[in-house]
Amino acid sequence: MKPRTRPLHLLATVISLSFLGGAATTGCRAGKSRPAAKPGAVATPGEGASLEAIAQAHNLDPAEARAALEVYTPPGRYDEFTMFSSGGHSGSVYVVGIPSLRLLKEIPVFSPNTWQGWGQGADEGDKILREGSFSPNLPTQTWGDLHHPQLSLTKGDYDGQFLFASDKPTGRVAVIDLRDFHTKQIVKTPNTISDHALFVMENTEYVVTATFQPSPGGPGVYAPLETYKDRYRGAITFHKFDRAAGRIVLAQSFQIELPPYFQDLAIGGKGPSKDYIFTNSLNTELSTGGNLEGRPPFEIGASRNEMDYMHVINWRRAEALVLSGSPKLVEKGGIKVIPLEVARDEGLLHFVPESKSPHGCDVAPGGEYILTSGKLDPHVTAYSFAKIKKAIDEKNYEKLDPYGIPILNYDAVKEAYIEVGLGPLHTVFDDKGNGYTSLFLDSAVAKFTLGPPYHSAAEGWKLVDKIDINYNIGHLQTPGSNTVRPRGRYLVALNKWVVDRHPAMGPLHPQNTQLIDLSGDKMRLVNEAPSIGEPHNATIIETDRIAAWVTYPALTDPATMQTPAANATKQGDERIEKTADGVHVHMVVIRSQYKPDTIRVKQGDRVVIDITNAESARDATHGFGLHGYNVTASIDPGATQRIEFIASQPGAYPFYCTEFCSALHMEMAGWFMVEPR
């Protein structure tokens, strides 16, 4: 079923006549300055009650009653937009409907998930987590702090095919295929120990990450902190994406070394600025902390300078240098690296002064402006790309940084300096030439006009509205904000604190997501829901643009999307083979049996079970939960999963279907018998 629009205007007219008319000017904003709802206080009037009576029984003011209608998605209907939201250190992506804010799905990425059998004994997830670990010499990394989900782009707009996500503490990138919403690849960025920013180039040619903490050379490389200035480096990495294969190809990827500042967020240019990328930085002081060693604590040491540096990187020229096979490049960690000195000498890198401790770095939809904001400065600074280009061409430098990188003249490149409020973080855009900045300290969103060509010189760069947020907003997002075609309509506030917005459920609170309507001149809060894990960032697309499958083609290997999978079992071909060191089970599942349903092995055997789900019906997933061996798999219709382990302990172990799939679901079970040696 497609989402569709209903003739809401009729209903709205009825309500505005009978109830909202006149009362809409009470000035009481939904969710603000009202006593907290008491559980159980709502009495629902019976059938036949007027809309007004229902609203009154629910203690809704006119604005709330209106918002309820605006965001209501009736049973069986789909939300117009779908949001992929970061789950922070849950390691997952959460899929949420907009405007209902209903949680639709969790996509496990960096952490195991037992519902989907991800990293829980089935090969698909186990292998991806293992191969995508921080270091082969450390335990398999089974947690991540997922910050920045980004959709794949075609001509600068969402194509609904892939989602990428970054892991901050280890510097990894995940590729999620939106045909089945499965993570297909996790790549450790070579030579780094931490990445933060992640964005996608115009046609997804590269998935780009920027480091956070600099590194002396990647996992396992040591250099004393005393040598920080000389031996530690930041980096920006261009992960080559092969769209046909759906994989990042490290051999065609490259990296540019940067000074050991913390690079933080980064973004690609568009239109006039599309050959450039921009990343801000903090800790240009090169502080390494040491508060018990007689040095200032890190947060003080890293906030001394009045200005940090936005990096302006000519990636086109960098790519040309890489493709030319220049001998100035070094091969390190399996990719080509442009050393800092080469980047400097080739003119790939320039700096622009920016307000201290910056966080957000965003590009206006047409690519004319780059906007940054420093958490300690209540302004958004807009830089003109044309002016940056001119300053680069004219070598209009203030000075060089300690690594010899030219710092452009601030006044020559600045376009506007807009006072928005305390703690500005990130800026997103709508389709009417406005920018919206999250204010962490103010707990608010500021709306301002962009300058020409979005608004006239007289009307541009003006603060036009502000709305309170509950509480301490981090990222914010609008549909298509970071594409060439922002859609407007809604703004989602991804908040760090929930405090009293949801009932107490113990000392660990969820986070809070709020939905703001952008259709009028004034922003309106219209919906709110808790979110699981910290929602660092999100990306929002029209629901019907996602190219998702409802079942796999028969005999698909979800790990490779190949059909038929090399290890698929056709019905009638079920069997158990003895192998040199154990048994190989070729199993088929279909309502309501496992075939074979009895597996006999000897203690110490290596057990390989290939399970094919022979169903073709939508939603006919079967599980495989093996008692005691810590194995569970989800075998979706059409899919094949491999499970491999050593039968180390003798005993009688049942296995059973974990999905309530049929009337005989309770009977969908079998025996895994391990005979003692």
Distance of alpha carbon 37 from alpha carbon 502, whole angstroms? 10
Which of 126, 377, 468, 659 is the binder for ligand CUA (CB under 6 A)? 659
Q: Is 536 in the site for ligand K7E (CB under 6 A)?
A: yes
Tell me the closest approach of the beta carbon of residue 61 to ligand CUA, in angstroms: 47
Burial class (CB in 10 A: 0-12, 13-18, 19+), 652: exposed
**What contacts 165, CB < 8 A, 6 or more positions away?**
86, 93, 109, 146, 147, 148, 149, 150, 173, 174, 176, 198
User: Is-contact 403 344, C-beta < 8 A?
Assistant: yes
Tell me whether residue 88 or residue 670 sits nearer to ligand CUA (CB atom): 670
Residues in 426-455 at the binding interface with ligand K7E, rule: CB under 6 A: 426
Residue of the chain from 89, 179, 196, 387 that contacts ligand K7E (CB under 6 A)? 196
Decide: is 274 part of the binding site for ligand CUA (CB under 6 A).
no
Q: What is residue 286's DSSP assignment?
A: -
Shortest reach from residue 671's CB to ligand CUA, in Å: 16
Beta bridge partners of 548: none
Could you tell me which stretch among 42-50, 493-501, 543-551, 655-663 binds ligand CUA (CB under 6 A)? 655-663
Beta carbon nearer to ligand K7E, 110 or 594 = 110
Least separation in angstroms between CB 496 and ligand K7E = 7
Contact with ligand CUA (CB under 6 A) among 174, 491, 657, 674: 657
The Cα–Cα gap between 428 and 360 comes to 10
Compare residues 526 and 585 and give the one whose CB is closer to ligand CUA.
585
Binding mask 4-43 for ligand CUA (x = CB under 6 A): ----------------------------------------
Task: Give 342 or 515: the residue with its C-beta nearer to ligand K7E.
Answer: 515
Characterize 203-233 residue by residue with b for buried, 16 or more Cβ atoms within 10 angstroms of its Cβ, and e for exposed: ebbbbbbbbbbbbbbbbeeeeeeeeeeebbb
Residue 147 interaction partner, one of ligand K7E, ligand CUA, none, beta carbon < 5-8 Å per kind:
ligand K7E
- Residue 365's closest CA among 465, 267, 507? 267
Q: Give the integer Cα–Cα distance in Å for 7 and 27.
A: 27
Q: How far is the CB of 14 from ligand K7E (least distance, A)?
A: 42
> Whats the size of the chain, residue-wise?
677
> In the complex with ligand K7E, which residue's Cβ is closer, 344 or 536?
536
Q: Which residues contact 213 (CB under 8 A, 6 or more apart)?
A: 193, 194, 262
DSSP assignment of 310-370 equals EEEEEHHHHHHHHHTT-TT-EEETTEEEE-HHHHHHTT-EEEEEEESSEEEEEE-TTSSEE
Within positions 590 to 629, which residues make up the interface with ligand CUA, using CB under 6 A?
592, 622
Task: Give residues 256-275 in contact with ligand K7E (rule: CB under 6 A).
Answer: 265
Residue 210 binds which one of ligand K7E, ligand CUA, none, with CB within 5 to 8 A depending on kind? none
* Helical packing angle, 62-71 and 8-15, nearest 10°: 170
User: Which residue's CB is nearer to ligand CUA, number 285 or number 597?
Assistant: 597
Which two three-digit tokens encode residue 531? 């979110």
- Report, in Å, the least distance between residue 537 CB and ligand K7E: 5
* Residue ranges that bind ligand CUA, judged by CB under 6 A: 592, 622, 657, 659-661, 665, 668
